[in-house]
Amino acid sequence: MPRYGFVVNFEARPGQEEAVRQFLVDAKPMVDAEPGTFAWFSFQSGPSTFGIFDAFETEADREFHLNGEVRKTIDRRNDELFASAPTITPVDLIATKLPLQ
């Protein structure tokens, strides 16, 4: 069971909503290459509001992801895509429901 996660919130710069959406689509292969990322979801919750939720079994996996390619790309494209720096909140998972594997 994953015990650790991140909730990440993004606010797109005006006119950059489609670029943020595409950034999140393009981020998936980077996450797929991280064996320690147990689950990863990107979503849109408003016209210019986006987010990511991801889950990890170990703190080491969470830290690896925090310093991985998606984060590097966020930092590199921050001024271009986002109205302000994304908010990255570490969370400890209490209970989960996952499909049987």
**Dihedral of the CA atoms 42, 30, 28, 38 (nearest 10)?**
-70
85, 23 contact by CB (below 8 A) = no
Specify the pairing of strand 4-11 against strand 49-56.
antiparallel
In this structure, what DSSP letter does residue 47 have? S
Tens-digit pLDDT profile for the chain (101 aa)? 899 999 999 999 999 999 999 999 999 999 999 999 999 999 999 999 999 999 999 999 999 999 999 999 999 999 999 999 999 999 999 999 988 75
Q: Is the model's pTM score more than 0.85?
A: yes
Please give the structure tokens belonging to residue 33.
């290459």
Identity of the residue numbered 37:
T
Which letter does DSSP use for residue 97 in this model?
-
What the chain holds in terms of domains, given with CATH numbers, is 4-92 (3.30.70.100)
